Amino acid sequence: MFKSGVSQGRWEWKKGTNQQSGEDQAVSPERLLFLENKKKRKNQIRFTQIFLLIFILLLWEVTARLGIIDSFIMSQPTRILKTFANLSNNDLMLHLGVTCYETLVGFLIGACGGTCIAIALWWSDFLSKVFEPFLVVLNSLPKIALGPVIIIWVGAGTNAIIVMALAISMIVTVLEMLNGFVNTDSEKLKMVKTFGANRLQTFTTVVFPSNIHTLFNSLKINIGLSLVGVIAGEFLVSKAGLGYLIVYGGQVFKLDLVMASVIILSIVAALMYQAVVILERWITRLISPSR
């Protein structure tokens, strides 16, 4: 009964969509003007962002050359470029690959594991009530404090760094997804229950699809948190990675190396975040092709 009712609803929705498709093709002049203004606004914002970045770099370089700031302490763009060139000729790809590998592994395990735990807690209200205070405490606990314990448990190496990233990202995923599941539209839940849907059908047809954006919002947060966990782990124990370069540069007073590593790290974080955004757009188009 539930499947037949849902199928009928989908057929009616597709029928209405097909009837409106001809109307949607004729775009009004007001709509075209709105889209054009929106595009101009977006271009203006992007141009301003690029201008500010160039201005800051030029100001940094000029003040360093004029001696207003100490280039040994603050470095300067030209020195960072030289350091970057030296890194490219040596082991940059090794360090970059190590950090990216550790981040992606911790991120994927944290996202999948956190979502599964959130599903289990949503499924059982008893378990949700039992574990809620523990999750809150774990979320507020500074994970860096667990670094020495994690190193003793799993050993000093890549595994400890991945566990560090996992400890930071998984709890956030659990809390975000569980909150989304619990706050699913009650009217939609009542509708599927009138069709005789069981717990599994309710989750697969309403609860999880309604929280796709919640999932991607948590992924956007966790990709940065995973990178933070990896860098924190590399600060404590590592022989390669961007965190290792930052620590090494600080120890030998090579501030150019530190700043170059920080800039590379910023670019990596931006690219990973943008990859999640692109994936979200792709999934959204698959789910709602009419939009």
For 271-283, the pLDDT digits (tens) are 988 888 888 888 8
pLDDT tens digits along 128-153: 888 888 888 888 877 777 777 888 88
Judge whether residue 19 has pLDDT over 80: no
Per-residue model confidence (pLDDT) at position 89: 61
Comparison of pLDDT for 122 and 27, the residue scoring more: 122
Residue 150 DSSP SS3 = helix
Indicate if the pLDDT at residue 60 is higher than 60. Answer: yes
SS3 156: coil
Query: Per-residue pLDDT for 74 more than 60?
Result: yes
The 10s digit of each residue's pLDDT in 187-237 is: 887 887 787 778 788 888 888 888 888 888 888 888 888 888 888 888 887
Measured from the Cβ of residue 209, the count of other Cβ atoms closer than 10 Å reads 12
Residue 27 predicted with pLDDT over 80: no
- Taking only the tens place, the pLDDT of each residue in 154-181 is 777 788 888 888 888 888 888 888 888 8
Tokens 């000729």 correspond to what residue? Answer: 89
pLDDT of residue 26: 63
Between CA 89 and CA 112 the distance in angstroms is 37
Q: Which two tokens stand for residue 251?
A: 């120890």
The chain-wide mean pLDDT, for the chain, equals: 80
Indicate the pLDDT class of residue 48, thresholds 50, 70 and 90.
very high
Pick from 133, 112, 122, 124: nearest CA to 181? 122
